[in-house]
Protein backbone atom coordinates (compact mmCIF):
# COMPACT_ATOMS: atom_id res chain seq x y z
CA UNK A 1 0.00 0.00 0.00
CA UNK A 2 1.77 3.12 -1.23
CA UNK A 3 1.11 6.17 0.99
CA UNK A 4 2.37 9.66 0.24
CA UNK A 5 1.92 12.84 2.22
CA UNK A 6 2.61 16.55 1.86
CA UNK A 7 2.05 17.08 5.60
CA UNK A 8 5.17 17.54 7.72
CA UNK A 9 4.66 15.35 10.79
CA UNK A 10 7.80 16.18 12.71
CA UNK A 11 10.67 13.79 13.36
CA UNK A 12 9.08 11.72 16.13
CA UNK A 13 5.73 11.12 14.41
CA UNK A 14 7.43 10.55 11.04
CA UNK A 15 9.67 7.84 12.54
CA UNK A 16 6.68 6.16 14.17
CA UNK A 17 4.74 6.28 10.90
CA UNK A 18 7.63 4.72 8.96
CA UNK A 19 7.91 1.93 11.52
CA UNK A 20 4.22 1.12 11.11
CA UNK A 21 3.91 1.73 7.37
CA UNK A 22 7.21 1.36 5.55
CA UNK A 23 5.74 2.55 2.22
CA UNK A 24 4.91 5.98 3.70
CA UNK A 25 6.72 8.84 1.95
CA UNK A 26 6.76 12.60 2.60
CA UNK A 27 7.04 15.25 -0.10
CA UNK A 28 6.93 18.97 0.58
CA UNK A 29 4.73 19.47 -2.48
CA UNK A 30 2.78 17.06 -4.65
CA UNK A 31 4.47 18.63 -7.66
CA UNK A 32 7.76 17.09 -6.48
CA UNK A 33 6.45 13.54 -6.93
CA UNK A 34 7.48 11.69 -10.08
CA UNK A 35 4.46 10.98 -12.32
CA UNK A 36 5.16 7.25 -12.44
CA UNK A 37 5.35 7.15 -8.65
CA UNK A 38 2.23 9.28 -8.36
CA UNK A 39 0.32 6.77 -10.49
CA UNK A 40 0.97 4.05 -7.89
CA UNK A 41 -0.28 5.99 -4.86
CA UNK A 42 -3.20 4.37 -3.04
CA UNK A 43 -3.46 6.70 -0.03
CA UNK A 44 -2.84 10.46 0.08
CA UNK A 45 -2.37 12.33 3.38
CA UNK A 46 -2.74 16.09 2.98
CA UNK A 47 -4.09 19.40 4.21
CA UNK A 48 -5.54 19.83 0.72
CA UNK A 49 -2.76 21.97 -0.76
CA UNK A 50 -2.07 21.12 -4.40
CA UNK A 51 -4.84 18.52 -4.59
CA UNK A 52 -6.40 19.41 -7.93
CA UNK A 53 -8.54 17.53 -10.43
CA UNK A 54 -5.41 17.13 -12.57
CA UNK A 55 -3.47 15.54 -9.69
CA UNK A 56 -6.38 13.21 -8.96
CA UNK A 57 -6.29 12.09 -12.63
CA UNK A 58 -2.54 11.43 -12.37
CA UNK A 59 -3.06 9.27 -9.26
CA UNK A 60 -4.61 6.40 -11.19
CA UNK A 61 -4.52 4.01 -8.24
CA UNK A 62 -5.77 6.49 -5.62
CA UNK A 63 -8.42 4.96 -3.32
CA UNK A 64 -8.40 7.18 -0.24
CA UNK A 65 -7.55 10.74 0.82
CA UNK A 66 -7.14 11.65 4.47
CA UNK A 67 -7.16 15.36 5.30
CA UNK A 68 -5.23 16.37 8.42
CA UNK A 69 -7.69 19.13 9.32
CA UNK A 70 -11.46 19.54 9.34
CA UNK A 71 -11.69 22.00 6.42
CA UNK A 72 -12.28 20.42 3.01
CA UNK A 73 -13.33 23.32 0.82
CA UNK A 74 -10.14 23.32 -1.29
CA UNK A 75 -10.69 19.76 -2.57
CA UNK A 76 -12.04 18.93 -6.07
CA UNK A 77 -15.18 17.14 -4.89
CA UNK A 78 -16.46 16.46 -8.40
CA UNK A 79 -13.38 14.38 -9.21
CA UNK A 80 -13.57 12.54 -5.88
CA UNK A 81 -17.21 11.67 -6.47
CA UNK A 82 -16.58 10.53 -10.05
CA UNK A 83 -13.76 8.24 -8.93
CA UNK A 84 -15.59 7.18 -5.73
CA UNK A 85 -12.47 7.98 -3.70
CA UNK A 86 -12.85 7.51 0.04
CA UNK A 87 -12.44 10.77 1.93
CA UNK A 88 -11.80 11.20 5.66
CA UNK A 89 -10.78 14.21 7.69
CA UNK A 90 -9.62 15.18 11.17
CA UNK A 91 -12.70 16.93 12.48
CA UNK A 92 -12.85 17.14 16.24
CA UNK A 93 -9.13 17.63 16.85
CA UNK A 94 -9.57 21.31 17.68
CA UNK A 95 -13.11 21.21 19.11
CA UNK A 96 -12.04 22.14 22.62
CA UNK A 97 -9.67 24.85 21.41
CA UNK A 98 -12.29 26.54 19.22
CA UNK A 99 -14.94 26.24 21.93
CA UNK A 100 -12.59 27.86 24.47
CA UNK A 101 -11.69 30.62 22.01
CA UNK A 102 -15.38 31.39 21.49
CA UNK A 103 -16.04 31.50 25.23
CA UNK A 104 -12.99 33.68 25.82
CA UNK A 105 -14.11 36.17 23.17
CA UNK A 106 -17.65 36.35 24.57
CA UNK A 107 -16.22 36.99 28.04
CA UNK A 108 -13.92 39.69 26.67
CA UNK A 109 -16.88 41.38 24.99
CA UNK A 110 -19.31 41.35 27.92
CA UNK A 111 -16.59 42.51 30.31
CA UNK A 112 -15.31 45.13 27.84
CA UNK A 113 -11.78 43.78 28.15
CA UNK A 114 -10.75 45.38 24.84
CA UNK A 115 -11.91 48.78 26.10
CA UNK A 116 -9.95 48.46 29.33
CA UNK A 117 -6.85 47.34 27.46
CA UNK A 118 -7.03 50.42 25.26
CA UNK A 119 -7.41 52.53 28.41
CA UNK A 120 -4.31 50.87 29.86
CA UNK A 121 -2.27 51.86 26.80
CA UNK A 122 -3.43 55.46 27.36
CA UNK A 123 -2.57 55.12 31.10
CA UNK A 124 -6.18 55.96 31.86
CA UNK A 125 -8.04 54.76 34.96
CA UNK A 126 -11.45 54.10 33.36
CA UNK A 127 -14.31 54.58 35.86
CA UNK A 128 -17.11 54.90 33.30
CA UNK A 129 -17.10 51.75 31.16
CA UNK A 130 -19.75 49.24 32.28
CA UNK A 131 -19.42 45.47 32.28
CA UNK A 132 -21.93 42.65 31.89
CA UNK A 133 -22.05 38.87 32.28
CA UNK A 134 -22.77 35.84 30.08
CA UNK A 135 -25.35 34.37 32.46
CA UNK A 136 -28.82 34.72 30.98
CA UNK A 137 -27.53 35.59 27.50
CA UNK A 138 -28.47 33.54 24.44
CA UNK A 139 -25.84 31.92 22.27
CA UNK A 140 -26.77 30.81 18.75
CA UNK A 141 -24.55 28.07 17.39
CA UNK A 142 -24.58 27.71 13.60
CA UNK A 143 -23.41 24.14 13.02
CA UNK A 144 -23.90 21.67 15.83
CA UNK A 145 -21.06 19.24 15.16
CA UNK A 146 -18.07 18.29 17.29
CA UNK A 147 -17.12 21.91 18.01
CA UNK A 148 -20.74 22.93 18.58
CA UNK A 149 -21.17 20.25 21.22
CA UNK A 150 -18.08 21.37 23.13
CA UNK A 151 -19.17 24.99 22.89
CA UNK A 152 -22.71 24.24 24.07
CA UNK A 153 -21.34 22.37 27.09
CA UNK A 154 -19.21 25.36 28.09
CA UNK A 155 -21.95 27.89 27.40
CA UNK A 156 -24.29 25.98 29.70
CA UNK A 157 -21.64 26.15 32.44
CA UNK A 158 -22.02 29.94 32.19
CA UNK A 159 -25.82 29.65 32.50
CA UNK A 160 -26.45 30.73 28.93
CA UNK A 161 -29.47 29.79 26.84
CA UNK A 162 -28.24 27.64 23.94
CA UNK A 163 -29.84 27.60 20.50
CA UNK A 164 -28.26 25.46 17.78
CA UNK A 165 -28.82 25.35 14.04
CA UNK A 166 -28.46 21.95 12.40
CA UNK A 167 -29.63 20.87 8.96
CA UNK A 168 -30.29 17.31 10.13
CA UNK A 169 -32.70 17.42 13.09
CA UNK A 170 -31.75 15.56 16.28
CA UNK A 171 -33.79 14.99 19.42
CA UNK A 172 -32.78 16.09 22.91
CA UNK A 173 -29.13 17.03 22.31
CA UNK A 174 -27.06 17.60 25.43
CA UNK A 175 -26.69 21.20 26.62
CA UNK A 176 -28.99 22.64 23.94
CA UNK A 177 -32.28 24.34 24.80
CA UNK A 178 -33.60 24.19 21.25
CA UNK A 179 -32.53 23.00 17.81
CA UNK A 180 -33.49 25.55 15.14
CA UNK A 181 -34.47 23.93 11.79
CA UNK A 182 -33.51 25.35 8.40
CA UNK A 183 -37.01 26.65 7.66
CA UNK A 184 -36.90 28.74 10.86
CA UNK A 185 -33.37 30.04 10.27
CA UNK A 186 -34.07 33.70 11.03
CA UNK A 187 -35.06 32.94 14.62
CA UNK A 188 -31.51 32.15 15.64
CA UNK A 189 -30.44 35.58 14.37
CA UNK A 190 -33.32 37.35 16.10
CA UNK A 191 -32.84 35.71 19.50
CA UNK A 192 -29.06 35.39 19.85
CA UNK A 193 -26.88 37.74 21.84
CA UNK A 194 -23.86 35.95 20.40
CA UNK A 195 -24.02 34.18 17.04
CA UNK A 196 -21.16 31.72 16.51
CA UNK A 197 -20.49 30.42 13.00
CA UNK A 198 -19.12 26.88 12.94
CA UNK A 199 -20.49 25.94 9.51
CA UNK A 200 -18.34 24.08 6.97
CA UNK A 201 -17.86 25.91 3.68
CA UNK A 202 -19.92 24.29 0.92
CA UNK A 203 -21.79 25.74 -2.07
CA UNK A 204 -24.89 25.80 0.18
CA UNK A 205 -23.23 27.72 3.03
CA UNK A 206 -21.36 30.37 1.06
CA UNK A 207 -22.64 33.75 2.36
CA UNK A 208 -25.10 31.82 4.53
CA UNK A 209 -25.06 34.87 6.81
CA UNK A 210 -26.35 37.72 4.66
CA UNK A 211 -27.76 41.20 5.07
CA UNK A 212 -31.32 40.04 5.81
CA UNK A 213 -30.05 37.75 8.57
CA UNK A 214 -27.80 40.37 10.14
CA UNK A 215 -30.50 43.04 10.08
CA UNK A 216 -32.71 40.78 12.20
CA UNK A 217 -30.18 40.69 15.04
CA UNK A 218 -30.33 42.75 18.23
CA UNK A 219 -28.41 46.03 18.36
CA UNK A 220 -26.46 44.63 21.30
CA UNK A 221 -25.52 41.34 19.61
CA UNK A 222 -22.20 40.09 18.25
CA UNK A 223 -21.15 37.71 15.46
CA UNK A 224 -18.16 35.42 16.01
CA UNK A 225 -16.83 33.59 12.95
CA UNK A 226 -14.44 30.68 13.51
CA UNK A 227 -15.38 28.58 10.48
CA UNK A 228 -14.61 30.08 7.05
CA UNK A 229 -14.58 33.70 5.93
CA UNK A 230 -16.87 33.04 2.97
CA UNK A 231 -19.74 32.04 5.28
CA UNK A 232 -20.49 35.74 5.93
CA UNK A 233 -21.30 38.41 3.38
CA UNK A 234 -18.43 40.74 4.32
CA UNK A 235 -19.97 43.93 2.96
CA UNK A 236 -23.26 43.20 4.73
CA UNK A 237 -21.40 42.67 8.02
CA UNK A 238 -19.50 45.94 7.69
CA UNK A 239 -22.73 47.76 6.82
CA UNK A 240 -24.69 46.61 9.88
CA UNK A 241 -21.76 47.33 12.20
CA UNK A 242 -21.13 50.80 10.80
CA UNK A 243 -24.89 51.52 11.01
CA UNK A 244 -24.84 50.27 14.63
CA UNK A 245 -27.49 47.66 13.82
CA UNK A 246 -25.37 45.12 15.73
CA UNK A 247 -22.66 45.72 18.34
CA UNK A 248 -19.74 44.15 16.49
CA UNK A 249 -17.95 41.02 15.38
CA UNK A 250 -14.98 38.80 16.17
CA UNK A 251 -13.40 37.35 13.03
CA UNK A 252 -10.76 34.62 13.03
CA UNK A 253 -11.22 33.52 9.40
CA UNK A 254 -11.25 35.41 6.12
CA UNK A 255 -11.83 34.97 2.39
CA UNK A 256 -8.24 36.07 1.84
CA UNK A 257 -5.52 34.84 4.21
CA UNK A 258 -3.26 36.40 5.29
CA UNK A 259 -5.55 39.41 5.44
CA UNK A 260 -4.16 42.22 3.28
CA UNK A 261 -3.13 45.40 5.04
CA UNK A 262 -5.49 47.26 2.67
CA UNK A 263 -8.53 45.23 3.72
CA UNK A 264 -11.21 47.49 5.19
CA UNK A 265 -11.93 45.06 8.02
CA UNK A 266 -8.78 46.24 9.83
CA UNK A 267 -10.18 49.75 10.14
CA UNK A 268 -13.82 48.94 10.86
CA UNK A 269 -14.65 49.93 14.41
CA UNK A 270 -15.93 47.14 16.67
CA UNK A 271 -14.52 44.37 14.50
CA UNK A 272 -11.89 42.35 16.38
CA UNK A 273 -9.46 40.30 14.29
CA UNK A 274 -7.30 37.28 15.09
CA UNK A 275 -5.11 35.49 12.48
CA UNK A 276 -6.92 32.14 12.11
CA UNK A 277 -5.73 30.84 15.46
CA UNK A 278 -9.00 29.70 17.11
CA UNK A 279 -8.22 26.06 16.43
CA UNK A 280 -4.52 26.08 15.57
CA UNK A 281 -1.14 26.58 17.23
CA UNK A 282 -1.81 24.34 20.22
CA UNK A 283 0.65 21.54 21.03
CA UNK A 284 -1.79 18.63 20.66
CA UNK A 285 -3.18 19.62 17.23
CA UNK A 286 -0.95 17.51 15.00
CA UNK A 287 -0.82 14.55 17.43
CA UNK A 288 -4.63 14.37 17.53
CA UNK A 289 -4.78 14.47 13.73
CA UNK A 290 -2.06 11.81 13.56
CA UNK A 291 -3.95 9.51 15.94
CA UNK A 292 -7.04 9.66 13.71
CA UNK A 293 -4.88 8.87 10.66
CA UNK A 294 -3.23 5.87 12.34
CA UNK A 295 -6.60 4.56 13.53
CA UNK A 296 -7.96 4.74 10.00
CA UNK A 297 -4.86 3.26 8.35
CA UNK A 298 -5.07 0.26 10.66
CA UNK A 299 -8.73 -0.29 9.79
CA UNK A 300 -8.56 0.63 6.09
CA UNK A 301 -8.21 -2.92 4.72
CA UNK A 302 -9.60 -5.01 7.58
CA UNK A 303 -12.51 -2.96 8.97
CA UNK A 304 -13.22 -0.06 6.60
CA UNK A 305 -16.66 0.42 8.13
CA UNK A 306 -14.96 1.20 11.46
CA UNK A 307 -12.94 4.12 10.06
CA UNK A 308 -13.82 7.45 11.66
CA UNK A 309 -14.65 10.83 10.12
CA UNK A 310 -15.76 9.44 6.76
CA UNK A 311 -16.91 12.44 4.73
CA UNK A 312 -20.18 12.54 2.81
CA UNK A 313 -18.77 13.84 -0.46
CA UNK A 314 -22.18 14.91 -1.77
CA UNK A 315 -22.73 17.13 1.27
CA UNK A 316 -19.13 18.31 1.40
CA UNK A 317 -18.59 17.49 5.09
Q: Give the tens place of pLDDT for each residue, 30-73.
A: 999 999 999 999 999 999 999 999 999 999 999 999 999 999 99
Assess if residue 82 is contained within a domain.
yes
Question: Pick from 167, 224, 235: which is nearest to 197 by CA?
Answer: 224
Tally of domains in the chain: 2
Assess if residue 145 is contained within a domain.
yes
Instruction: State mean pLDDT over 195-220.
Output: 97
Are 159 and 148 in a shared domain?
yes
Domain that holds residue 81: 3-92+284-306
Assess if residue 59 is contained within a domain.
yes
pLDDT in tens, 138-160: 999 999 999 999 999 999 999 99
Assess if residue 316 is contained within a domain.
no
User: In the structure, what pLDDT confidence band is assigned to residue 280 with cuts at 50, 70 and 90?
Assistant: confident
Are 76 and 101 in a shared domain?
no
Are 267 and 288 in a shared domain?
no
Question: Pick from 105, 134, 129: which is nearest to 119 by CA?
Answer: 129
Are 267 and 302 in a shared domain?
no
Are 302 and 221 in a shared domain?
no
pLDDT in tens, 217-273: 999 999 999 999 999 999 999 999 999 999 999 999 999 999 999 999 999 999 999
Are 32 and 100 in a shared domain?
no
Are 71 and 99 in a shared domain?
no
Are 80 and 101 in a shared domain?
no
pTM to 2 decimal places: 0.93
Amino acid sequence: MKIISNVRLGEELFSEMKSLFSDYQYFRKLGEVDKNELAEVEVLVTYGEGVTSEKITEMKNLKWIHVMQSGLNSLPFKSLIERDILLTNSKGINSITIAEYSISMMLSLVRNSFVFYDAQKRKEWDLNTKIDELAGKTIGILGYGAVGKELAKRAKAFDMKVLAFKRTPIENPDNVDEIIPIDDKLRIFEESDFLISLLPLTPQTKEFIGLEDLERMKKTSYVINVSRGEIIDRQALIKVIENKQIAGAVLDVFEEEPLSGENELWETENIYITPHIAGDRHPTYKKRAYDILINNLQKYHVQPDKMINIVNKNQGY
